[in-house]
Structure 1
Amino acid sequence: MDTMADRGSVTLRDVAEAAGVSVSTVSRVLDERAPRSQSATAVRVRQVADELGYRRNAYASGLRRGQTGTIGVLVPRLTDTVMALMFEALERAARARGYFAVVATCGDDPESERSSTEILLERGVDGLVLATARLDDELPAALRARGIRHSLALRTDGVSPSSLGDDDMGGYLAVRHLVDLGHRDIAIVTGPRFASSANGRVEGARRALAEAGLALDAERVVYAGYGIDEGVEAGRAVFTSSRPTAVFAANDNLAIGVMRAAHLAGRVVGDDLSLVGYNDIPLASRLPVPLTTVHVPFDQIAAGAIDLLFAPPGEATIRKVLPTLMPRASTTRVVE
């Protein structure tokens, strides 16, 4: 049977004529960026569009508005579980607004970060979300100076629009949990010094210890990368120099590495050693000893980062999402 789809591309005008409404009505109903109407007319328009095989050309539509319908996302690497989860959450949030997210990686190198940013801009993205984390990063200031629409995810420089978890509160919750279980000899393994998340979580831990009348000595904090291998090496350093009853690792990969180091040192996580991680990656609850960790709501952070790209001037530009503690078998009460 001969159909419009057989004869060529179905247009908005074809749908409008078949549905008995105006072209502007069809355009409004089928605009994925707008709230989905359930009116009789909207339902009829969508039904007709499906029957005719209409497919919205987002690229052409965007060009007419001077946009491409894409958002660029910059992350250090996608081999990092947290960065992969963050990008997936940003992609979902962008899609909910009718945009498509594309990703570029830059490692931890500022020059690579600038180069990757220019590549995304050359491809005409409508905005940028930076999920990089260097405290000495000059890129946000450069983007502000150029008037380029952008937001930061998982960190803030205090000026550019930012959506992040409350790292100070997360570190506080982790160590407060250990203190409440009776631990007093607590070591901390955190990320690199250039990462705002690493420093924020240490400050939260320091606050929890101070409330209990305990000081956080410098030798009890080990700065590392955010990978499993870095966690193993940091754990070895901790267990070689001391015998803490508990360790707070500032991300779950580090915690997994510390688990390995603890095994090599003859320590038993969940028995004579308590361990808390951070982020609550999917693997955390599925380990042989399920990991107590701080849950970070990536979808909320991503939605905030995308919203901030399009927020009108004058709205709050820094949004912090509260994390929550997820107690599991890797932490236990100190036996007196």
Structure 2
Amino acid sequence: MAKIPKINGDYLIGSDGKDYLSGGDYNDYLTGNAGKDTLIGGAGNDYLRGGDGKDYLSGGFGNDYLRGDAGKDTLIGGSGNDCLFGDAGNDCLNGGSGNDTLIGGDGKDTLNGGSGNDYLNGGSGNDYLNGGSGNDYLNGGSGNDYLSGGSGSDTLIGGTGNDTLIGGQGLILICHSSKDTLEGEESIYGPRDILTGGTGADTFVLGKNGDITEIDYIGKDNPGDTTITDFNRAEGDKVQLGGSINGYTVNYSNLSGTSALDTALYYKGDLIAVFQDDTSFSLKLDTIFQAELDTLA
């Protein structure tokens, strides 16, 4: 995570108009003030602050700190371990390469982590978060957010609101106090996904969009399964599966969590999900099958 750098280069302060500020090879301080400004950090560990208005901030090389302030801002970290803070307004934050920290703040923000192990927090508003490659941590914050982990072993937390969480490979998906949809999209490629719905009526989608054609490649040559930690029928939780009930079976054994029995869900003999410390799951009562959804479409 980038910290506010120690300045040993240029101090450039814009006016209330449309400014273009460009730093040099050292650690520069650039602030645009009001107006539609463009700030380019260049080399070094730079501090860029847009001020009010619709600003464009690019950190360039180094471990940079970028803050948009009010207005619809675009922040690009570039290379290095950068910290990007959108603040107020509907902002677009791109981390680039490196292990970056992206915080949207108020407004409807778009956060793209890029490569590296990134931390993304949407803040308030209906935000879009994309982790990109690397082992990322995504938190939607308040609002109805869309979180996509990308590749790597990621942690996704929906926060408050009706959120959509899309898995990548080897994910931990967590939602809180809302009606959320969680999709372990690529869990069946091998890595294990952990799905935690939290309170509220959650839908756990197994396979790629619950499509039976995307489930039938699970098997002994590429093992992997999904662990659901808090399935609760009383809260209205459902599991979406591909096809029809034919081919699915369950049994009970201790596979995960405490010493309590778990429900193991199989498709054509291959393990696809474990309901941790729970034996209440029922194929007849708790599932939505893709074939049924296709009939209703």
**TM-score of the superposition, structure 1-length normalised?**
0.27
Between Structure 1 and Structure 2, whose CA radius of gyration is higher?
1
**TM-score of the superposition, structure 2-length normalised?**
0.29
- Kindly indicate whether structure 1 or structure 2 has the higher relative contact order, using CA contacts under 8 Å at least 6 residues apart: 1
Larger fraction in strand: 2
Larger fraction in helix: 1
